[in-house]
Structure 1
């Protein structure tokens, strides 16, 4: 288990707890009272730390190396029913954007989302979750297929941004994202969007238009990352904590500003601390959201989606 800087008090108590239990097991001495006291203190410390996280600390949690990614959720929720689909039918298959058909109970869904890697090799293979234009065009192809067969779409957002390379711009990165946004506003099937980690800039918006848009408790959603914001305003990354506060990028901020519809609670310690529980929560969130949307006629579904976005912000 890896710990972030602000989690070090938890690490120390966890090590004390494990050491006490081991001593009791090895020496056959009753240390149950000591273990209970440490365990109680551990829960209190966890509750205190995670209840008062700063925006920057939530950004750090959203990037935790043990945090579940898109395919982790899909495989856990759908099991063997998931069939991954590849390619944009134009350039190539973008490994940073994944998608395919899967079932939850007896209902089929089209899943799409950015995928990061769990180690150096797979991070490079997945381009650190930064999709090229072909990734967004693949996502659109899958969404249009879902529309054709009347299958709801589930989008998992977890990206530091769309890939900013020269080749991506040459192949129309901006156009691909813009095309996805307009096509998603008028897609004739329900769209459920969940920000599971990082939701940065147009890279997130390219698959982020939905009837139900949610964020995990320790995810973030903003036009720019705190580090890049700091480097632009202060010419240094040293002010990233201040930038994170100013950007209003947390789930609570997004809910208050009506950018999202709801916040999905995570297990204490973050999604990575109890993945099985997180997967069950996600499964319930998706099925509940679909139940609320499935009875709406196509015209009403699209109108409600359009109204949702045109009502955002203040206009004179």
Structure 2
């Protein structure tokens, strides 16, 4: 069984192996077991739909973090007809964890920004596991300002566990860089479409996450904190991450209900990593559709709509509370 198979997918793999065994047996013995194979395939299809229609938050997190999930570069390859990467923040260096550039879709230019994960340990180390430094966010801001100057719409793709928390990043102004991006993105005078394509972790996601449309792919999460960190803070026990994940309301469906995102982008059954090209084309259609809606707005209308979008987010309610351990309550006192 492949190492990258998730626990809840094992029944599907077992069925696939049974089908393979039957087909080999048919070839060796010359027997006709096509009806049995057909029945097993139908059973596998129904089971696949049933499993992915009833995923819990922990299982969605596992898909969002899957090592084979498409990266920003994969989406660039499938979505853009041409792409030119641009480098550097003109202050310190070029952050490999956050890439950006200019791409063409149907002859129209767009500025693109996205967190870039690696597909191997070596590449992940080079990309810092998509945890951007302040120079990454300053590069993003430089390219967004350039997009505004030349009237290019902006597409951003979020897939990061969070901004890099190292000493060097803090010394170079990590929090300030993210805060500045939030302030500047609120008033950039071109359409911004944001897509969460995997992990949407904390301020690292927000640094390129303020836009006119917020889309989330079906099996992703967007959160103020990782469930593991939340569990460690609230219960001093990272093993309670599944409980924390449910309480945080971090899935696409939960955030859509809370009106914090605008649209859920359907993925191929099993997740984007099962069919990256199809996933990218589904996403491309959504991006184009949203850009068309935003393109008819004047600059003043665009900024007013963006302001109202964020001004109307959230409401206070004491109906649902998380039960905190007594020691946590005592510390709060």
TM-score range, shorter chain: over 0.9
Matched with 2:19 is 17
Q: Any idea what SS the aligned residue of 2:195 has?
A: strand
Matched with 1:50 is 52
Matched with 1:141 is 142
Q: CA deviation at 1:33?
A: 1.5
Within the candidate set 6, 24, 37, 2:8 is matched to 6
Q: CA deviation at 1:236?
A: 1.9
After superposition, the C-alpha distances for 1:12-61 in whole angstroms (9 at most, x for unaligned) are: 11111222233334544333212211110111111111111111110111
| Counterpart mapping for 1:98-177 below 5 A | 98-177=99-178
- Looking at CA atoms only, which structure, 1 or 2, has the larger radius of gyration? 2
Within the candidate set 77, 94, 101, 1:75 is matched to 77
Q: RMSD across aligned C-alpha pairs, in angstroms?
A: 1.3
Work out the CA distance in 1 between the residues paired with 2:266 and 2:72: 17
After superposition, the C-alpha distances for 1:74-107 in whole angstroms (9 at most, x for unaligned) are: 111114x111111001100000000111111111
| Counterpart mapping for 1:59-98 below 5 A | 59-79=61-81, 81-98=82-99
Is 1:35 the equivalent of 2:37?
yes
Work out the CA distance in 2 between the residues paired with 1:90 and 1:120: 29
Cα pair distance change 1:116/1:27, threshold 3 Å: same
Matched with 1:230 is 231
Work out the CA distance in 1 between the residues paired with 2:147 and 2:153: 7
| Counterpart mapping for 1:168-207 below 5 A | 168-207=169-208
Q: After alignment, is 306-315 or 243-252 more displaced?
A: 306-315
Matched with 2:265 is 264
Q: Any idea what SS the aligned residue of 1:122 has?
A: helix
After superposition, the C-alpha distances for 1:187-221 in whole angstroms (9 at most, x for unaligned) are: 11100000000001110110000111010111000
Work out the CA distance in 1 between the residues paired with 2:285 and 2:314: 30
Q: CA deviation at 1:315?
A: 6.6
Q: Any idea what SS the aligned residue of 1:196 has?
A: strand
Work out the CA distance in 1 between the residues paired with 2:160 and 2:26: 45
Cα pair distance change 1:25/1:138, threshold 3 Å: farther
Q: Any idea what SS the aligned residue of 1:98 has?
A: strand
Cα pair distance change 1:26/1:107, threshold 3 Å: farther
Q: Any idea what SS the aligned residue of 1:82 has?
A: strand
Is 1:295 the equivalent of 2:324?
no
Matched with 1:243 is 244
Q: Which runs of 5+ in 1 are unaligned?
A: none
Matched with 1:281 is 282
Cα pair distance change 1:102/1:25, threshold 3 Å: farther
Work out the CA distance in 2 between the residues paired with 1:28 and 1:127: 54
Work out the CA distance in 2 between the residues paired with 1:179 and 1:265: 32
TM-score (norm. length: structure 2): 0.92
Work out the CA distance in 2 between the residues paired with 1:143 and 1:204: 16
